[in-house]
Chain A
Amino acid sequence: MSLLHLAIISPFLLAILVPILYKSFRQIHTGWFVLPLPILLFSYFLSFLSIQEPITKSVPWIPFLGIDFIAKIDGLSLLFALLITGIGSLVVLYSVYYLSKDKEKLNTFYVYLLLFMGAMLGVVLSDNLIVLYMFWEFTSFSSFLLIGYWYHKEKSRYGAQKSMIITVFGGLSMLGGIILLYIMTGSFNISEIMEIVPSISDHTLFIPALLCFLVGAFTKSAQFPFHIWLPDAMEAPTPVSAYLHSATMVKAGIYLVARMSPVFAAEGLWLWLVGGVGIITLFWGSFNAVKQTDLKAILAYSTISQLGMIMSLLGIGAAALHFEGIEKSVYAAAITAAVFHLINHATFKGSLFMVVGIVDHETGTRDIRKLGGLMNFMPITFTLAIIGTFSMAGLPPFNGFLSKEMFFAGMLRVLELDIFSFETWGLLFPVIAWLASVFTFLYSMILVFKTFTGKFQPEKLEKKPHEAPIGMLISPIILASLVIIFGLFPNILSNSMIAPAINAIMPGNAADVHISFWHGFTPELFMTIGVIATGILLYISLPKWRRVYDLFPKKLTLNRLYDGSLEFAQSISKKLTSGYMNGSIRTYLVYIFSFFIVILASTIAVKDAFKMDTSNISSIGFYEILLALAIVVASISILFAKSRLTSIILLGSVGYTVSLFFVLFRAPDLALTQLVIETISVALFLLCFYHLPKNSKNEERIRFKLTNLLISIGVGAIVTVIALSAHSNKMFDSIAQYYVENTYEKAAGKNMVNVILVDFRGFDTLFEITVLSIAALGIFTMIKLKMKGGRKNENK
């Protein structure tokens, strides 16, 4: 157990302590106890910044399955670990002021949050895929708990369930991918898999594994069409939205794609899928964000769209890993953009969520139709919002501008790709990207100007707005200043964090020079100018063309599809179940007998087992024929017996004939027993018959049913056939000779049957006695014990 493992596990350990702290120190906000841990972890991870080589520490967990808890820290892991702990600290600080000490159950909140933080650290620091999967599901699970934090609200429960279903679906698919990879490579360790990969890329399971992994990554990172859970997850408390649904959990899919790029990216499908789905998500998210009226919904769709942007950059960047003579460093620049934007997005989106939380907290609403003119009341919040949104829109002084420029550059490079038929369809990428940026600009402007400028509407607000307490502002201020710092001095990041991360994604493709290169009149700059101009134009004319959104029918959304398919699955399974489970014992017997017939008959047919061998059949005497006739006649006439009395008597006669058979076939003990028992059984039957209820006692014949007849003939025929062929296929002699020889010598008895029953195989007899006693006791209790519920029916 190394310090690194301890760092991963420490949030879990603290989570155990949180309820105790909560109960013992009711006066102090529990968040203060939580806060030191992420700060400590953050500074611990900062100490890795200078590392050159990845550090690997291993703890055996299930060694014989090849599953060890391997913690590996390289550039990419470190970047994510810093994001998780850094933003984690800020979010905990923010939540201390956001959540009330008296009204909320703080212990559960911080337990869930710490679980999530530990799970996220586990995801990004694990080198073993199974361990990674374990932590992955842990994030789904803790996110489910956090979304449903206000569990008394129906929408929270709906959102939590939806995100659970979708992300767990993706998680399971990823598990499938992991297992497929294991089948191909024989290892669960990512670093080992990477070394084997070139030799397996032609394997038939390679593409299925790739698809499984991508479904996992796309569901987690809310990519099209799995993005629908994210807007509904906004029912969570705002610190949770800021942390999980903007900065960390939704980037787990990004992390997975980046991590698995060296494994899969040589495949053209990967490039198309990651790039294509990313760009579709980018457009769809930004397009839909414009029509939202809830601030958090705008931010949710904006998150979806920004994640799509990072994803598409990772897809394009994967071209650098293609080995056939293309200029690699150009596409490596796309990866640089992705990583850079990843950091930027975490900073500005985190601060924006916190700003929205402040607005909600101070006014009581998040609806932009009710808000307006808050600029004068909340100047600091307004400034923070301006910084965040302008960075999101990609305006020059902030870090969003740089990543957007690099994004356009990456997309323009697609035009030059001449592999995987990009030369024909590649043009779509920059065009869609540009359109999406226009929408991004638009909703960013809506977000800030509809909230803070315009007419102040005090009558619509629940509270009198005023500036937030300073504690609540600290975290967004830190994030916003990072936005500016990274915007003005991007190079402080480049060599310390981004370059190692890129080295981890693409071993050996160092691209550090490109980051410092950030001036010059490039086509990207003009594209940005175009975005701003079009965006402003569209924002001014917004009321005129807003109705475009009404053109899209509300029925055709993906949410409807999701809800509909859930309902459909439920109703179908209900129909199916109530269809075949109708409660009638006859139907179930029909199923059972039919399966009996079908399976046995087909087995006999397939194996060609039927064989009739008459050589060892003994001669048939006159008495046997007579008795056989008697038994056949009796049993068949039971079927036609009109009254129940007849059938009971006929059953008795069958029983007596059977005992006659026993006499004939030299089995005296059997004959005796059979005689006695048949007598008692018939007496019992008569008892039952006598007590039949009067009202339904219409004596009628069994109603004829063809299916019943067919099934029973089938059963009879099958049994006959099996009996015949079993008899004809005898393989070896009986062991009876031993009993014949030793009954007297060893057991001192002459009746072989009885000696077998009590001596050689006395154990069976013991339990047969037990059966009888249980039956007797059961009968006794049934008659004697009458439950209170049963009494009522009798009175009717």
Chain B
Amino acid sequence: MAFVIGILFMSATYLMLSKSLLRIIVGTGLLSHGAHLLILTMGGLKRGTVPLLDEKASAYTDPIPQALILTAIVISFGVTAFFLVLAYRSYQELGTDNMERLRGTEGND
């Protein structure tokens, strides 16, 4: 899994370094996927069954990383949604999505 996560991080970084705002947000999406998978992987994979007590199994997977990820997913969703609307608004107001053109002008920063 570590390699998969590495590749996710790599693509995310590459996208975030690009010029288009939308691609940067796609990059952040990939980055959060990578981070979530990383948490899951670090918790240990496949040691038992689903963390539901009804299963009556002898071993369960670690429930803590799952709880953490659930929190992280929701938060990153909130942030992503906010960013997207922010991007949408800036298209409307500024008429561009090119990051190189989105700069403070002299005396305006």
The answer to whether A734 and B62 have CB atoms under 8 Å apart is yes
Binds B, one of A99-107, A551-559, A628-636: A628-636
Interface flags for A219-260 (1: CB within 8 Å of B; 0: not) read 000000000000000000000000000000000000000000
- Asked whether B30 lies within 8 Å of A654 as measured between CB atoms, the reply is yes
Cβ contacts under 8 Å, B1 to chain A:
624, 628, 723
- Chain A: which residue is nearest B102 at the CB level? A585
Q: Which residues of A contact B85 (CB under 8 A)?
A: 684, 778-779, 782-783
Query: Which of these, A590, A644, A684, A739, contacts B17 with CB under 8 Å?
Result: A590
Q: Are B97 and A696 touching (Cβ within 8 A)?
A: yes
A583 within 8 A of B: yes
Q: Which of B5, B22, B64, B70 contacts A689 (CB 8 A)?
A: B22
CA distance A670 to B52 in the complex (A): 13
| CB 8 Å contact bits of A648-665 with B (1 = contact, 0 = none) | 100100110010011001
| Given known contacts A635-B8, A648-B26, A712-B17, A793 and B84 CB-to-CB distance under 8 angstroms | no
Tell me if A56 is interfacial: C-beta within 8 Å of chain B: no
Q: Are B43 and A685 in contact (CB under 8 A)?
A: no
Among B30, B60, B74, contact of A772 (Cβ-Cβ < 8 Å): B74
The segment from A136-144, A195-203, A763-771 that touches chain B is: A763-771
Q: How far, in angstroms, from A618 to B2 measured CA to CA in the complex?
A: 13
CB distance from B9 to the nearest CB of A (A): 4
Q: Which of A309-317, A394-402, A702-710 contacts B (4 or more CB under 8 A)?
A: A702-710
Give the residues in chain B near A717, CB-CB below 8 Å.
6, 10
CA–CA, A726 and B5, complex, Å: 14
Interchain CA distance A583-B22 in the complex, whole Å: 19
Collect the chain A residues with CB atoms within 8 Å of residue B52's CB.
Answer: 668, 750-752
Instruction: Give the distance to chain A from B92, nearest Cβ to Cβ, in Å.
Output: 7
Please, what's the 1-or-0 string for B1-29, where 1 marks a CB less than 8 Å from any CB in chain A?
A: 11111111111111111111011011001
Q: Is A593 in contact with chain B by the CB < 8 A criterion?
A: yes
A584 touches B103 (CB 8 A): yes
Is B92 within 8 A of A691, CB to CB? yes
A161 within 8 A of B: no
CB-defined contacts of B92 to chain A, threshold 8 Å: 691, 794
* CB-CB under 8 A for A757 and B95, given A680-B77, A751-B52: no
Among residues of B, the one whose C-beta sits closest to the C-beta of A777 is: B82
Distance in angstroms from B41 CB to nearest chain A CB is: 7
**Do residues A586 and B9 form an inter-chain contact, with CB atoms below 8 A?**
no
B interface size (C-beta, 8 A): 85
- Residues of chain B within 8 A (CB-CB) of A3 are none
Q: A687 with B84: in contact, given A586-B19, A636-B11, A750-B52 (CB under 8 Å)?
A: yes
Q: In the complex where A618-B45, A631-B4 touch, is A736 in contact with B53 (Cβ < 8 A)?
A: no
Q: Which residue of B lies closest to A749 (CB)?
A: B53
Q: Is A715 an interface residue when CB atoms closer than 8 A count as contact?
A: yes
Q: How far is the CB of A770 from chain B (nearest CB, A)?
A: 10
| A723, B73: Cβ atoms closer than 8 Å | no
Number of A-B contacts (CB under 8 A): 273
Report B91 CB to chain A, min CB distance, Å.
5
Min CB gap A708→B, angstroms: 4
The listed residue (A639, A667, A677, A688) touching B87 by CB distance below 8 A is A688
A630 — nearest CB in chain B belongs to which residue? Answer: B4
A716 & B7 in contact (Cβ 8 Å cutoff): yes
Count of chain A residues near B, Cβ 8 A: 95
CB-nearest residue of chain B to A796: B95
Q: Does A71 contact B (CB under 8 A)?
A: no
B37 to chain A, nearest CB (A): 6
Contact B88 A691 (CB under 8 A): yes
Nearest CB in chain A to that of B60: its residue = A740
Q: Which of B25, B85, B102, B109 has the most CB of A within 10 A?
A: B85
Give the Cβ gap from A456 to chain B, nearest Cβ, in Å: 56
Given A775-B79, A793-B94, the answer on whether A702 and B49 have CB atoms closer than 8 Å is no
Residues of chain B lying within 8 A (CB to CB) of residue A677: 73-74, 77
Residue ID in chain A nearest B38 by CB atoms: A723
The answer to the question of A681 belonging to the interface, with a C-beta cut-off of 8 Å to chain B, is yes
The answer, yes or no, to whether A503 is at the interface (CB within 8 Å) is no
**B60/A752 in contact, CB under 8 A:** yes
Q: How far is the CA of A448 from the CA of B27 in the complex (A)?
A: 81
Q: How far is the CA of A669 from the CA of B69 in the complex (A)?
A: 10
Residues of A within 8 A of B67 (CB): 753, 756-757, 761
Interface flags for B68-109 (1: CB within 8 Å of A; 0: not) read 011101110111111011111101111111111011100001
Q: Which A residues touch B100, using CB under 8 A?
A: 584, 586
Q: Contact at A783–B89, with CB atoms within 8 Å?
A: yes
* B21-62 at interface with A (beta carbon < 8 Å): 22-23, 25-26, 29-30, 33-34, 36-38, 40-54, 60-62
Cβ of B109: which chain A residues have Cβ within 8 Å of it? 583
Contact A688 B88 (CB under 8 A): yes
Give B31 Cβ to nearest chain A Cβ, in Å. 10
Given contacts A673-B73, A752-B60, contact A779 B81 (CB under 8 A): yes
Q: Which residues of A contact B80 (CB under 8 A)?
A: 681, 684
Contact between B18 and A654 (Cβ–Cβ < 8 Å)?
Answer: no
Q: Would you call A719 and B17 a contact (CB within 8 A)?
A: no
Q: Are A782 and B17 in contact (CB under 8 A)?
A: no
Which of B60, B84, B91 is A692 in contact with, Cβ under 8 Å?
A: B91
The smallest C-beta distance from B109 to any residue of chain A, in angstroms, reads 7
CB A757 to nearest CB in B, in angstroms, measures 5
Interchain nearest-CB distance for B24 vs A (Å)? 8
The answer to whether residues A666 and B42 also contact, given A685-B22, A751-B52 and a CB cut-off of 8 A, is no
Q: Is A470's CB within 8 Å of the partner chain B?
A: no
- A658 with B37, Cβ < 8 A, contacts A711-B17, A719-B9 known: yes
Contacts of A666 in B (CB 8 A): 46, 48-51, 61
Write out the residue numbers on chain B whose beta carbons fall within 8 Å of the beta carbon of A288: none
Inter-subunit contact A756/B64 (CB<8 Å): yes
| A560 to B: closest C-beta gap in Å | 31
| Cβ contact within 8 Å between A688 and B22 | yes
Cβ of A724 under 8 Å from chain B: yes
A589 to chain B, nearest CB (A): 6
- A753–B63 touching, CB < 8 Å: yes
B11 touches A775 (CB 8 A): no
Rounded to whole angstroms, the CA-CA distance of A764 and B67 in the bound complex is 10
21 A-B contact pairs sorted by A residue (CB < 8 Å): A586-B99, A635-B8, A654-B8, A655-B33, A662-B40, A665-B61, A670-B73, A677-B73, A677-B77, A684-B80, A685-B26, A688-B22, A716-B11, A724-B2, A727-B42, A734-B43, A735-B64, A739-B63, A757-B71, A771-B75, A796-B95
Closest 8 CB pairs of A and B: A716-B10, A720-B6, A775-B78, A712-B13, A752-B63, A712-B14, A750-B53, A752-B51
A687-B88, A743-B53 are known contacts; what are 5 more A-B pairs with Cβ within 8 Å?
A618-B47, A638-B11, A666-B49, A696-B96, A790-B93
CB within 8 Å of A: which residues of B? 1-20, 22-23, 25-26, 29-30, 33-34, 36-38, 40-54, 60-64, 66-67, 69-71, 73-75, 77-82, 84-89, 91-100, 102-104, 109
